[in-house]
Amino acid sequence: MKIPAVRFGLIGYPLDHSASASYFTKKFTSEGLTNYSYQLFPLKAVEEVNSLLAVTSGLKGFNVTIPYKESIIPFLTVLHPDAEAIGAVNTVLVKTSGTGTRLIGYNTDAEGFRRSLPPTLSHRNALILGTGGSAKAVAFTLRKLGLNVLLVSRTERSQTTKSYEELTRELMHQFTFIINCTPAGMFPDLKGTPPLPLKWLSPGHFVYDLIYNPEETLLLRNARKAGAVTKNGQLMFETQAELSFRIWSEQ
């Protein structure tokens, strides 16, 4: 008897940078899951998720990336409490029964980020570059760890969000843990970088870029040259992927 196909995937646009399909294909092969597959679904609009579900048989779950981590929420049946608190989803469980299909939204970015942090993180003030879904997950995690968080945006302004032009020497001296949650510098935009005032970086800074492709972004290269400790998003990517698969497998 033929074993039914079990499918997973990633929605977002564009998806040229993503290593998700490669990661899961290797995982399924190594674990002998011959009927499992993972596919990239580059959707030009989040509304296309409905037609994707209609035509993709065996789809048990999918990940969500830029730019749909927030806009996917209205299409979901229910949210896990953490995803609801964060306001962003990167993992969706598809549950199909005789009564229809339910989409359950989770956020594994937050826990994936937490597990990727050094066990002896000494920084108490964090500067988060970006205000999208990934930034929301990072902010949620750091606040739970007791850090003071300030977001930086090109367009938004609020009590907790500054513009890049407002980053002074004093703020840069105070906020020594810097996390890039923007796509600036992600493949294929290898020359892109957030407009951070690099002249105020020092060996006392820790610069973490959630991007993992390329392995070292221009931001990380410049931060390293300034003497800062640097880290890319590879471990976070792998950890959130494993957490996503656990959700899909245990339901």
Residues, the chain, total? 251
The boundaries of every CATH 3.40.50.720 domain in the chain are: 110-232
- Comma-separated ranges of CATH 3.40.50.10860 domains in the chain: 6-107
- Its pTM stands at 0.95
Residue from 2, 26, 27, 69 carrying the catalytic annotation: 69
231 is catalytic: no
Decide the pairing of beta strands 125-129 and 148-153: parallel
Question: From CA 138, how far away is CA 131, in angstroms rounded?
Answer: 10
- Rounded CA gap, 52 and 49, in Å? 5
Predicted confidence pLDDT, tens digits, the chain (251 residues): 567 799 999 999 999 999 999 999 999 999 999 999 999 999 999 999 999 999 999 999 999 999 999 999 999 999 999 999 999 999 999 998 877 899 999 999 999 999 999 998 999 999 999 999 999 999 999 999 999 999 999 987 787 899 999 999 999 999 999 999 999 999 999 999 999 999 999 999 999 999 999 999 999 999 999 999 999 999 999 999 999 999 999 86
For 110-232, the fitting CATH number among 3.40.50.720, 3.20.20.70, 3.40.50.300, 3.40.50.880 is 3.40.50.720
pLDDT tens track for 46-102: 999 999 999 999 999 999 999 999 999 999 999 999 999 999 999 999 998 877 899
**Sheet holding 78-79: strands in order across?**
36-42, 6-12, 59-64, 91-97, 100-106, 78-79
The predicted structure's pLDDT at residue 180: 98
Pairing of strands 177-180, 206-209: parallel
Options 1.10.8.60, 3.30.1340.30, 3.50.50.60, 3.40.50.10860; which CATH number does 6-107 get? 3.40.50.10860
